[in-house]
Structure 1
């Protein structure tokens, strides 16, 4: 994607880090396509029984190697290789494949997430779906931008639909059961016009581009959410934990068009 087509404010956002985040998300994401829908893919189980593949590991290694060269003072937190301390105020939070189960199943709705954090505040983020070649990115004060198949990015915005006319998306329904939030899920499903499990980073991308009104994660890690928060907020939406705090470190997440946010929090509180 030719960054020269974007405004100077966007390309220099966060001292050049946003441009690098876009580049690395695309580079790492495209590397996963080498094993996507391949009979040669092997699946391992991590300590928490979640799956991981060589594509996950290689994509994160690629991002880390580039960041260590370009911003050696910055800290890094990634799903596959943990935390690397830094000396600056910045931290990169990375999920090389958000939606590994979709990736393993040959479903193209997985993403590469790169978040830029300063003093625990999420200031920039990139969501890239390599199999769809679809990209959303944002930085604080620069708006959210959307591009498909390498086209010139355009500003994107959340919808203005109420929940009873809107789409509610979630990664996996049984994650509500795992935290004893079945009633909350049922309440959201009843309140929404339509519910689909087009989740993970793709669900948040749908909200940011006005195609869904609500995305909820009952169980989440910072690498699932750090890229998401600035994208949603710059698109005019809202992101919080289930207790209503604008943080990616709360263990869960709720992203919306803003209009339905308080209603969703109230319905989840019935759990």
Structure 2
């Protein structure tokens, strides 16, 4: 199986999810609360089901790890990681910055990822196989140079999403940046890859929250790690630090 075939497939997966979600956006969709207190809607389940149906047909030996329907290991050693709607709270409130995240993980590391923000009309695709590359709506993108935190525009979903210890670290970093924006969920990482943001810091993420982001950011020339500067793997603890310039990333790690 070639990476080019996987690129074609991952775009089909994202398009299927977009079609499944669109009828439910701003439609007063009912919201349920899961055991971890996070929200879920019929749109989340419909999107993941649409993706899984295609994978069952086209990649039957690959594993699948989805937020709503769990893990099936497969036999190939490859795994597709799915967040059908990243930003469900914003989706329910009618904000257009939610997105479907799909990643292909090989040997424990994401090598291909897509962020499909259908309502906003944005789709990021990143790949780290061969020459790393990333595109936004088909156009090549790169992160932007930034000398350090004092010049950085940063983003995070919400300050209350951190633990007490995590929030203290976040404050040390946040007080050092030029500007801090809240909200945006996965859109923030796409904007970082496209050179609009310089830093994103979050905690308590699951693999399906971040797996698709890794190839997009690395493909655009950025860096994304845990809070110790280590590469993200399926065993990572969920603390994520992404930067467009290694100098910003290093200074943030020092403050953490």
TM-score by length of 1: 0.89
Q: In the alignment, is residue 224 of structure 1 matched against residue 209 of structure 2?
A: yes
Count of residue pairs the alignment pairs up: 250
Aligned residue in 1 for 2:161:
175
Distance (Å, rounded) in 1 between the aligned partners of 2:232 and 2:98: 23
Q: Deviations over 1:144-193 (max 9, x none)?
A: 0111xxxxx111000112322221100111122x2522221222221111
Distance (Å, rounded) in 1 between the aligned partners of 2:241 and 2:254: 12
1:142 shift after superposition: 4.3
Q: In the alignment, is residue 144 of structure 1 matched against residue 137 of structure 2?
A: no
Aligned residue in 1 for 2:32:
44
Aligned residue in 2 for 1:185:
170
- SS for the counterpart of 2:24 is coil
1:46 shift after superposition: 0.6
- SS for the counterpart of 2:89 is helix
Distance (Å, rounded) in 1 between the aligned partners of 2:156 and 2:2: 31
Q: In the alignment, is residue 109 of structure 1 matched against residue 97 of structure 2?
A: yes
Q: In the alignment, is residue 237 of structure 1 matched against residue 222 of structure 2?
A: yes
Which of 38, 61, 64 is 2:52 aligned to? 64
Aligned residue in 2 for 1:256:
243
Distance (Å, rounded) in 1 between the aligned partners of 2:35 and 2:233: 22
1:15 shift after superposition: 5.3
Q: Deviations over 1:74-109 (max 9, x none)?
A: 000000000012010210000000000110111111
TM-score by length of 2: 0.94
**What stretches of structure 1 move > 6 A for 4+ residues in a row?**
none
- Unaligned runs of 5+ residues in structure 2 are none
Distance (Å, rounded) in 2 between the aligned partners of 1:190 and 1:225: 24
